[in-house]
Structure 1
Amino acid sequence: MELIELNQQYVTIRGKISNLNSLHSELLKWSKEQGYTRNLKSYIVETYHPMEGREEEVRIFLPIEENHR
């Protein structure tokens, strides 16, 4: 495992791993509606969370520009 420290602002969403594509789409749509601009020079971060007796969850962190309206 590697540790990467990021100094970045993010918008985030969490849901079932089977919904990964729709979660990305939903987060992109929501962030645009809220006036956020995606930072294309920073990493998108995904963390995965095993859920006992349930489907694994994923949390997506989408980097945004700091100049939010």
Structure 2
Amino acid sequence: MEQQMMKRMIQKCFLQYEHSVESVPLNDRDYEKLYSEIMERYQRNESAEIYELVEDVVYEFLVG
């Protein structure tokens, strides 16, 4: 999946967790780390829905 599209999905997920566009606490390295984690999980389970993987990874980032 294209990395820019994934970045927008990650941003939207942060908005669901009550962050504003300005308060999304990520730099480029964080986005790369989240993207890598999402893609790794997808490769292990290609039947998974990408949006569910994004939500899981973002949630873990926020609570971890």
TM-score normalised according to structure 1 size:
0.32
Whose helix proportion is higher, 1 or 2? Answer: 2
**Higher RCO, Cα 8 Å, sep 6+:** 1
Whose strand proportion is higher, 1 or 2? Answer: 1
TM-score normalised according to structure 2 size:
0.34
